[in-house]
Amino acid sequence: MTDNDILVEVRDLKVHFPIKRGVLFDRTIGHVKAVDGVDLRIPRGQTYGLVGESGCGKSTLGRALLQLTPPTGGEVVFDDVELTTLPPARLRAMRRRMQMIFQDPMSSLDPRQNVESILTEGLQTHGIGGNRDERRAIIGEALDKVGLPRWALSRYPHEFSGGQRQRIGIARAVVLGPELIVADEPVSALDVSIQAQVVNLLDELQESLGLTYLVIAHDLAVVRHISDIVGVMYLGALVEEAPSDRLYTEPLHPYTRALMSAVPVPDPDVEDRRERILLAGDLPSPANPPAGCRFHTRCPWAQPTRCADERPVLREIGGSRVACHWAERIASGELRPNQEGAGAIRGSAGGEAPEPVSIPTSTAKADSADG
Amino acid sequence: MALLEVDDLSVTFARRGQRTVRAVDGVSFSVDAGEVVGLVGESGCGKSVTSMAIMGLLPRHPGTRIGGKAAFDGTDLLGLDDRARRDIRGRDVAMIFQDPLSSLNPVIPIGLQVTEVLARHRGMKGDAARKEAAGLLDRVGIPDPTRRLKEYPHQLSGGMRQRALIAMAVACRPRLLIADEPTTALDVTIQAQILELLKELVHDSGTALVMITHDLGVVAGMCDSINVLYAGRVVETARRRPLFREPRHPYTSGLLGSVPRLDSGRGEPLNPIPGSVRDVLSWSEGCAFAPRCSRRVDACLDETPPVVRTHDGRSYRCVDPVPLPGAVPAQAGPADQPEASSPEPNEEKTRD
């Protein structure tokens, strides 16, 4: 797989939702900038993981990429075809090649359709398979691929467990023979022991069918596990993008660092040793994002210059793309997190950079002082 | 004696025309003051029903049967009448729920909801109560508390709401706090803030905390001792480090093996537990986990596996436990498994 074989390219994608007020005459009083200028490229046969907290625009980005939500601006190029300006009929034909897997298998499957009907719908729409028998054969294959028995065809979604339902959702996507699958939180509604089954299934399908994935998830451990490239979003924009291993071993953006440090690891030794970077306060409103760097209001490394008035663009630093003015100097340890800026760092030192340690009790105070 | 001692708690739901469900089936555990005890398990394992039963929050229905004991400081919470229970609930024992939006009243300002607790249990009124409420919100890290008191739940963010809920729970300095998935609805960075806050409360006031969660990572950082539940029963109890380092029950070890970890690499296939929670046996027929278990032997299907207690305070319900060395993601140092490496002669089998 060469680097040049890009299946999907997103250029300066924007999705703004108008905020309306008024009873008789809707007035637009502002916009929620759910996605505000995202560039990314997904190589064929690889997995791009998109992480971020709720409200950061990751799901909207996924939907806009598939043209399920019309983008306000920017371009989406799928296999050299520009999708945003494509006439509806041609877009519909393209849809066969890009499918979606949804978070909640219960609400994304029609409870009144049996599995056969769920899986046939797409085939009929795209005119695949001449008659019922042919379609049955195609569906049967899809069921085999996702590890469901043939008798499932006549059953209804409620007769299956959560993991099996998600397999039906995956079968529905796979049955059309797509090239790209956008999976929006594919495992977060499932039980811990079932998550691994679905993650493994996604991996196997990628290998056997040569699929390209865009996986959207808030669970950083899951994303790390299945992604080749990971992009971190904050308030509608990418703040860092790097190969999966690199992002996790060497996070450069302060937000990425904070995210990584906040993920609990099921290992008491790691938990006791870790330095936790606590961010102060909550996500600012995407309707009125902070000027300059959008993260500067919560950033422990925020500097008096540039951060508040100049929006950083993604720039290349040793294989990663980072949107931070000070990434190099933070990485080298030259810049220290400012104490009063946001949150405290708990735990003993022992990491790569010496960092100030404060007692846990100051956390709440620091939060309140800042927010 | 421990502050809370739950002994052989069982909850069954019976409805006409439907199979009787044993949601909790002989759960026993104890919590000391200042201790954090985890109840871990997947959906349907009975962890939430356990907490609801202890708090007396299960709906009153003739088909709902609660058995066993839950002694809080000597008083059996299950046997209390409504008045006595209301006196204890909110004052000595408090609860934090998973979804702060649905556990706050949407049409009543936050302030009134916090002062209600103060009025009921501490007899505070008017300005004094409002001042105390502002102090509580400040303590849990809500900025500008006096303004927030007048706001409604929908005006607060998810993290703020959870903080408000915690403020209400700790308003009377309870001696026991039950947190049912307190951070599941929150983002990781907010989760870190809330967990930090809970740790601080336990540390500062010596409150006992029962932490109910499905997230093994949260447990690893928070709990002193952990009970793993499966199909309504505790299948393994251990202190934090031994549990993660050398899980004995195949379910515990399976759970640990199936979670992707932040510090593991890309591509190594995970080892999921086959099947789903629906594939259970009834405990009376054998081990409920047997249909999904990789270490199943014939004896598993014969009878309920007895609880095996090792003398170092661990216990597990399994006839063929995971052997101590190896087979665990984290390598166990030789120093960490003293007498337990030859457990058989010391083990005392108890049947319940």
Q: Say yes or no for a CB contact (<8 Å) between A191 and B43.
A: yes
Q: How far apart are the first and last CA of chain B?
A: 21
Distance from CA of B250 to the nearest CA of A (A): 12
CB-nearest to B273 from A193, A259, A371 is: A193
* Interchain contact B224–A (C-beta under 8 A): no
CB-nearest to A263 from B158, B188, B190 is: B188
pLDDT for the residue numbered B20: 86
Domains of chain B: 4-227 (3.40.50.300), 231-261+270-350 (no CATH)
Of the candidates B308, B320, B300, B317, the residue with the CA atom closest to the CA atom of residue B350? B308
Query: What integer best gives the mean pLDDT of chain B?
Result: 86
pLDDT for the residue numbered B266: 65
pLDDT for the residue numbered B272: 86
For A70-92, write each residue's pLDDT tens digit: 999 999 999 999 999 999 999 99
Of the candidates B65, B85, B86, the residue with the CA atom closest to the CA atom of residue B76? B85
Distance from CA of A127 to the nearest CA of B (A): 35
Amino acid in the structure at residue B190: I
pLDDT for the residue numbered B179: 94
Q: Can you read off the two tokens belonging to residue A246?
A: 């690199």
CB-nearest to A192 from B141, B199, B259 is: B259
Which residues of chain B are within 8 Å of residue A54 when distances are taken between CB atoms?
Answer: 158, 187
* Interchain contact B59–A (C-beta under 8 A): no
Q: Is the pLDDT of residue A343 over 50?
A: no
**In chain B, which residues have pLDDT < 70?**
265-267, 325-352
CB-nearest to B42 from A191, A264, A369 is: A191
Q: What is the pTM of this model?
A: 0.83
Distance from CA of A369 to the nearest CA of B (A): 7
**Unique residue bearing structure tokens 């019922």:** A132
Query: What integer best gives the mean pLDDT of chain A?
Result: 86
* Interchain contact B103–A (C-beta under 8 A): no
For B119-152, write each residue's pLDDT tens digit: 999 899 889 999 999 999 988 888 889 999 999 9
CB-nearest to A264 from B217, B264, B271 is: B217
Which residues of chain B are within 8 Å of residue A364 when distances are taken between CB atoms?
Answer: 139-141, 197, 200
Mean pLDDT of the region A4-22: 90
For A211-268, write each residue's pLDDT tens digit: 999 999 988 889 999 999 999 999 999 999 999 989 988 899 999 999 998 888 888 8
Q: For residue B204, give the chain A residue with the closest CA.
A: A361
Q: Which CATH class is domain A6-234?
A: alpha beta
Domain positions in chain A are: 6-234, 252-370
pLDDT for the residue numbered B325: 63
Distance from CA of A167 to the nearest CA of B (A): 13
Helix then strand then coil, % of chain A, to nearest 5:
35, 25, 45
- Element (DSSP H or E) covering residue A107: helix A105-108
Q: What is the CA radius of gyration of chain A?
A: 22
- Rounded Cα distance between A184 and A59, Å, is 7
- Rounded Cα distance between B274 and B277, Å, is 10
* pLDDT interval class at A274 (50, 70, 90): confident
Q: Is the pLDDT of residue A331 over 50?
A: yes
pLDDT for the residue numbered A4: 63
Q: Say yes or no for a CB contact (<8 Å) between A266 and B266.
A: no
pLDDT for the residue numbered A277: 85
Distance from CA of A371 to the nearest CA of B (A): 6
Which residues of chain B are within 8 Å of residue A371 when distances are taken between CB atoms?
Answer: 143
- Element (DSSP H or E) covering residue A119: helix A115-125
Number of H helices, E strands in chain A: 13, 14
Q: Say yes or no for a CB contact (<8 Å) between B189 and A262.
A: yes
Mean pLDDT of the region A338-357: 40
- Rounded Cα distance between A310 and B95, Å, is 45
Whole-angstrom CA distances from A108 to A103, A112, B95 are 8, 12, 33
Mean pLDDT of the region A20-36: 85
pLDDT for the residue numbered B130: 92
* pLDDT interval class at A339 (50, 70, 90): low
Distance from CA of A267 to the nearest CA of B (A): 6
* Interchain contact B87–A (C-beta under 8 A): no
Q: For residue B254, give the chain A residue with the closest CA.
A: A193
CB-nearest to B278 from A161, A192, A225 is: A161
- Rounded Cα distance between A243 and B235, Å, is 40
pLDDT for the residue numbered A340: 47
Kindly report which listed range (A37-41, A280-284, A363-367) carries the lowest average pLDDT score: A363-367
Residue ranges of the alpha helices (H) in chain B?
Answer: 47-55, 82-88, 100-103, 110-122, 126-139, 145-149, 158-169, 188-205, 216-222, 240-245, 250-258
